[in-house]
Amino acid sequence: NAGVTQTPKFRVLKTGQSMTLLCAQDMNHEYMYWYRQDPGMGLRLIHYSVGEGTTAKGEVPDGYNVSRLKKQNFLLGLESAAPSQTSVYFCASSHRVINTEAFFGQGTRLTVV
Amino acid sequence: AQTVTQSQPEMSVQEAETVTLSCTYDTSENNYYLFWYKQPPSRQMILVIRQEAYKQQNATENRFSVNFQKAAKSFSLKISDSQLGDTAMYFCALMDSNYQLIWGAGTKLIIKP
């Protein structure tokens, strides 16, 4: 059981380049989330999805887009990377019931130069 | 807006001692859930303990317990008989009825041998 898998684990981008981060979960979870983690700021929600074909904005959505075409996958896109998007990105998923544990991927360290 | 505050950026204790990490939060909702997550140097986010707001009894998981004070909006984590493997960042999080997790900035806990 792989849980939540993020690819890639590391990436360096030049300012203005685009990329897509992939999150895949094999637990049949309805909810999926993308967070960014910056020093001293905890995790901040970028976008989330409560089901296939639906997405919603979180706390810091600007500069990012997402898609949930399949229940098991949640993609995070950066159309034109900026140095301010240098961060560690985490994907998480959880079951529909509100009090269940959120399972996290291993994180993606993205550096924009 | 809902907020979670962890006022201790860093703490250190000797192995086998007891340590308490503080967390306060603000929400207008009556039904919500609180979590403590641990993030070791491996970067993996691991659920430590959870508490449903409608339950008065404090949650306990082996050496980990919480002191949940709903009126004061306080949710502290107590680690008894601390072990070297407890060294990590600890995050307090609040989940609301919109299924969004709101995170504190984290407390870096160092267990000294």
Task: Give the pLDDT of residue A41.
Answer: 76
Query: What's the mean pLDDT when you consider all of chain A?
Result: 92
State pLDDT tens for residues B42-62.
888 999 999 988 888 899 999
Mean pLDDT for B68-94 is 96
pLDDT higher than 80, residue B37: yes
State pLDDT tens for residues A38-82.
987 789 999 999 999 999 999 899 999 999 999 999 999 999 999
Q: Following DSSP, what letter does each residue of B47-101 receive, concatenated?
A: EEEEEETT--SPPEETTEEEEEETTTTEEEEEE-S--GGG-EEEEEEEE-TT-PE
Q: Which residue has the tokens 């600007």?
A: A62
Cα-to-chain-centroid distance, residue B83: 17
Look at residue B106 and give its three-state secondary structure.
coil
Cα B66 to Cα B79: distance, rounded to the nearest angstrom: 9
Closest chain A C-alpha to B38 CA, distance in angstroms: 12
Closest chain A C-alpha to B18 CA, distance in angstroms: 24
Determine whether the interchain pair A99/B106 forms a contact, defined as Cβ–Cβ distance below 8 Å. Answer: no
Task: Give the pLDDT of residue A28.
Answer: 92
Residue A97 banded pLDDT, cuts 50, 70, 90: low
Determine whether the interchain pair B43/A33 forms a contact, defined as Cβ–Cβ distance below 8 Å. Answer: no
Category of B99 on φ-ψ map: left (φ > 0), alpha (ψ -120 to 50) or beta: left
Determine whether the interchain pair B101/A42 forms a contact, defined as Cβ–Cβ distance below 8 Å. Answer: no
Task: Give the pLDDT of residue A98.
Answer: 58
Give the whole-number percent of chain B exceeding pLDDT 70: 100
Q: Could you tell me the two tokens for B1?
A: 């807006």
